[in-house]
Structure 1
Amino acid sequence: MMKITPVNNSDGLLLFLLEQENYPQHYYKYRNFIQMINDSNYLVYKLVVNNNLFGYFILMHSGDDLEIIKFTIKKCYHQQGWGQKMLIYLLQNFSFNKIFLEVNEHNLAAQKLYLNHGFQIMRKIPQYYGNENGYLMVYDK
């Protein structure tokens, strides 16, 4: 059974461990998760399937818009449709005018997911990810 629910402080460690696993070079610190979970400017949600954490996303309010700060699925569950389910949930269950995010130019799977759900590439961001470029993507209701 799949559930997407808000995260609480007790979930912070699980998110931190998933973050370390998926992004061993650049991951959020545990205290950053706890701060975002407790900050009303952020919306932190987890995807749980059969009591196992499959992924999570972090949104930040920006006026009437939302920014996707993090959107991740555990690597062993990639390419199984979980990201799509999580993105559809996000688009259908939150109030916003626009959603925007930055994505690595080499992350073709993420770009495809967002493009298939109505996001558009607005511009290239040179060296956004260190030596790698990023794209600003926007979803407009």
Structure 2
Amino acid sequence: MRKGEDLLNGLECLAIRLFKINDLSQVLMVEKESFHPGQQYDESVFMRYLDMKHVFLVADLCGKIIGYVLGFVEDSSIAHLASIAVSPSYRGLGIGRQLLEEFEKKATALGAKRIVLEVSTSNTVALNMYVKKGYRIVRRIPKYYGDEDAYLMIKDFKS
């Protein structure tokens, strides 16, 4: 049996859907489980995104939020993926990939021709996922996450 498969019951009740305000407390829990204290978004950051041309999706497993992806369209053609996270118990099951794919669909539907993101240079799991999905490293950003460098990555979409 794959790691966590018993938790997912074959994914039959997993839904990637739009964020609802009553999801916020569970999203904040995923955030806390996923990032170091200095790298965590607080409630105000998530709320600020709701005022933008945003894409905010959650991975809902039978009513429990186990992941999210958050980003926005910066202008008429560029989307910025700001954050993506999956609860540690549910990693390695393709949920992050599903969140990323749905983010791409929503962002391109809003007119994005390019998606940009930053990822920690030490986050090899995320880096591998992004590369497999067609993102390329553009440059290294020193000390982007405090003491940690990040890669700026880009994926272009055909018109």
Same fold by TM-score, threshold 0.5 exceeded? Answer: yes
Q: For 2:34 and 2:14, locate their aligned partners in 1 and report how far apart those are by CA, in whole Å.
A: 21
Q: Which of 69-78 and 86-95 deviates more?
A: 86-95
For residue 97 of structure 1, report the CA deviation from its aligned partner. Answer: 0.5
Match of 2:30 in 1: 18
CA distance in 2, matches of 1:24, 1:18: 12
Deviation digits for residues 49-74 of structure 1, max 9, x if unmatched?
22221200111111111000011111
Segments of structure 1 that go 5 or more residues without pairing to the other structure are none
Written as runs of structure 1 = structure 2, the 5 A alignment for 1:105-116 is 105-116=121-132
CA RMSD, Structure 1 to Structure 2 (Å): 1.4
Counterpart residue number, 1:34: 47
Counterpart CA distance in 1 for 2:46 and 2:102 is 21
Segment of structure 1 superposing worse, 122-131 or 25-34: 25-34
Which residue of 2 is the match for residue 135 of structure 1? 151
**Deviation digits for residues 36-57 of structure 1, max 9, x if unmatched?**
23x1332211111222212001
Instruction: Output one character per residue of 1:13-38: Cα deviation in whole Å (capped at 9) or x when no partner.
Output: 1111221122241321123222323x
Name which one, 1 or 2, has greater alpha-carbon Rg.
2
Q: Which of the pair is proportionally richer in strand?
A: 1
Number of residue pairs aligned between Structure 1 and Structure 2: 140
- After superposition, the Cα gap between the structure-2 partners of 1:90 and 1:42, relative to the gap in structure 1 and judged at 3 Å, is closer
Q: TM-score, normalised by structure 1?
A: 0.91
Identity of aligned residues (%): 24
In the superposition, the TM-score normalised over structure 2's length comes to: 0.81
Q: Does 1:124 align with 2:140?
A: yes
Which AA in structure 1 matches 2:118?
A: E
Q: Counterpart of 1:76 in structure 2: which amino acid?
A: S
Given the alignment, which residue of 57, 68, 74 partners 1:45? 57
> 2:70 & 2:101 partners in 1: Cα distance?
15
Shift of 1:88: 1.9
User: More displaced, 118-127 or 81-90?
Assistant: 81-90
Query: How do 1:52-131 residues align onto structure 2 when only pairs under 5 Å count?
Result: 52-63=64-75, 64-95=77-108, 96-131=112-147
Structure 2 unmatched runs, 5+: 1-12
Cα distance in 2 for residues equivalent to 1:32 and 1:9: 13
SS of the equivalent of 1:45 reads: strand
